[in-house]
Structure 1
């Protein structure tokens, strides 16, 4: 794998410019997938889609094709399009079906299952989401944490996110906040600035749900600032949206509402499908 791309997509340099694509023979499908992840993290959804097309065309590896479909689903889910995302996650699981003989294949299975669980939450199918998360635990139990974080710790963190969201969707705020206590250990091994920001943002949402709005607002402000610093526009929008929902920050509510609308328009200009336009 390309170390520069890995640092941008899943590491310490998410705000760095994505390097120009190498010659056709010098870059793997995994590299194209990481380019798509990095582009999507910056809200460049159209560019990410083109990279995923390139990854899909350049490989017959079912695990990589599965990762590409899961990534497409993630970009749709960020815009609240859970039904469309579910179709892509289902395709991802189809490609990942079979004996997961290596870390990448196991990660593909987990990305698909976790994505399907998140899609189910978005369509209020809470019991299905919990069953899918339980299936994930079986795969996670057999995971070798000696493998690269992209294929191990990243999935443990995503699983925690969706478990927490499941509790929030059910109105079980204290269970959500308790679940997020697990993040401390998981973040110790996390090299990804982007994943750290998102984890803190979900923790802020759990705090807000328990009534700790001042604490939640402060963390959300820090998340928005960090996302802005690192060019992670979707996370900046998500943090701003949470602040709008909390409505108890030092910044004026009207300014927050204007900021949320401006960020959403920018995401749509980059190929997102956020509504209202």
Structure 2
């Protein structure tokens, strides 16, 4: 029998991102892990409650910065880049000398800047994050995601594909299934940006199958949006559109509030 701490870690950053229900957390780290896993499934009400619980735990201060970064990522997933920037700013202020927390906050701020069209600022923040020493594989994957997204936004399609492919390799080495699926989402988008629609479609369809199997609802929604644009051999426009709307509705039922931009 797997102990609760291991179950939560595997759901957050390992091979079981679709596991649910998960045990109640007994430590701040466990609360963070369950929040991350719940957010990956679009269970935002549970995830936010766990982050609130984390703040009240004896060891909560240790994870405060990571918790703020996690809240920021939830806001971005729902289209709220301005709200995300506030949480990422708090994450940066709370990071102290923790390399992962500091780099996480900088990468989050870069994603926030990108989301509102401040590309030069996004690039500068990514440069700062790249020079933080002693960070984990998770941070390396996130760095490649946002670097790929920035390259797409600034018309550097080849660079976007390179960053996305590095993310795929790093996620595989990390052993996180959720990071692997998200990396394929980024790769599909980069391939679309490069004009290779057939490759984009193939990658997106494969990733969509995995996301649905693992109940990774936000990624299911993102992939359905992409396939609505490029077409899918796995389903016609009506089917893909229905899948997109169902994923969005599931997020709302699970406590997520989409931002209107």
Q: TM-score, normalised by structure 2?
A: 0.93
Conserved 8 A contact 2:211-2:219: yes
CA contact (8 A) 1:120 1:128 kept: yes
Partner of residue 121, structure 2: 128
Aligned partner of residue 161 in structure 1, secondary structure: helix
Q: 1:72 to 1:224 in 2, by over 3 A?
A: same
Corresponding residue of 1:148? none
- 1:2–1:165 distance in 2 versus 1, CA, 3 Å: same
Where does 1:10-89 land on structure 2 (aligned, <5 Å)?
10-21=13-24, 27-59=26-58, 62-89=61-88
Distance 2:59 2:28 in 1: 9
* Inter-partner Cα distance in structure 2 for 1:273 and 1:172: 32
Q: Secondary structure at the match of 1:16?
A: coil
2:141 aligned with 1:137, yes or no? Answer: no
Q: How does 1:1-277 map to 2 (within 5 A)?
A: 2-21=5-24, 27-59=26-58, 62-96=61-95, 98=96, 100=97, 105-139=98-132, 142-143=133-134, 152-183=136-167, 185-247=169-231, 249-274=233-258
Q: Cα deviation per residue 1:53-110 (whole Å; 9 max; x = unaligned)?
A: 00011146544001111111100100111001100110111111x3x2xxxx211111
- Please say if residues 145 and 167 of structure 2, whose CA atoms lie closer than 8 Å, have aligned partners that are also in contact: no
Structure 2 unaligned blocks of 5 or more: none
Q: Distance in 2 between matches of 1:12 and 1:125?
A: 35
Offset at 1:254? 2.0
Structure 1 residues 233 and 248 mapped into 2: Cα distance closer, same or farther (>3 Å)?
closer
Aligned equivalents of 2:109, 2:14: Cα separation in 1: 25
Aligned in 2, Cα 1:257/1:184: closer, same or farther, shift over 3 Å? closer
Tell me, in whole angstroms, the C-alpha distance in 2 between the residues paired with 1:61 and 1:44: 21
Give the whole-Å Cα distance in 1 for the aligned partners of 2:34 and 2:165: 32
Is the alpha carbon distance of 1:175 and 1:72 closer, same or farther for their aligned partners in structure 2, counting shifts above 3 Å? same
Q: Are the equivalent residues in 1 in contact too, given 2:55–2:61 (CA < 8 A)?
A: no
Q: Which runs of 5+ in 1 are unaligned?
A: 144-150
Summarize the Cα distance change of 1:184–1:34 in structure 2 as closer, same or farther, 3 Å threshold: closer
Deviation of 1:116 after TM superposition, in Å, equals 0.5
Q: Partners of 1:19 and 1:123 in 2: how far apart?
A: 35
Cα gap change, 1:70/1:269 in structure 2, threshold over 3 Å: closer, same or farther? Answer: same
TM-score (norm 1): 0.88
CA distance in 2, matches of 1:94, 1:275: 25
Deviations 1:9-51 (A, max 9, x none): 11011122243316xxxx2111111111111111000110000
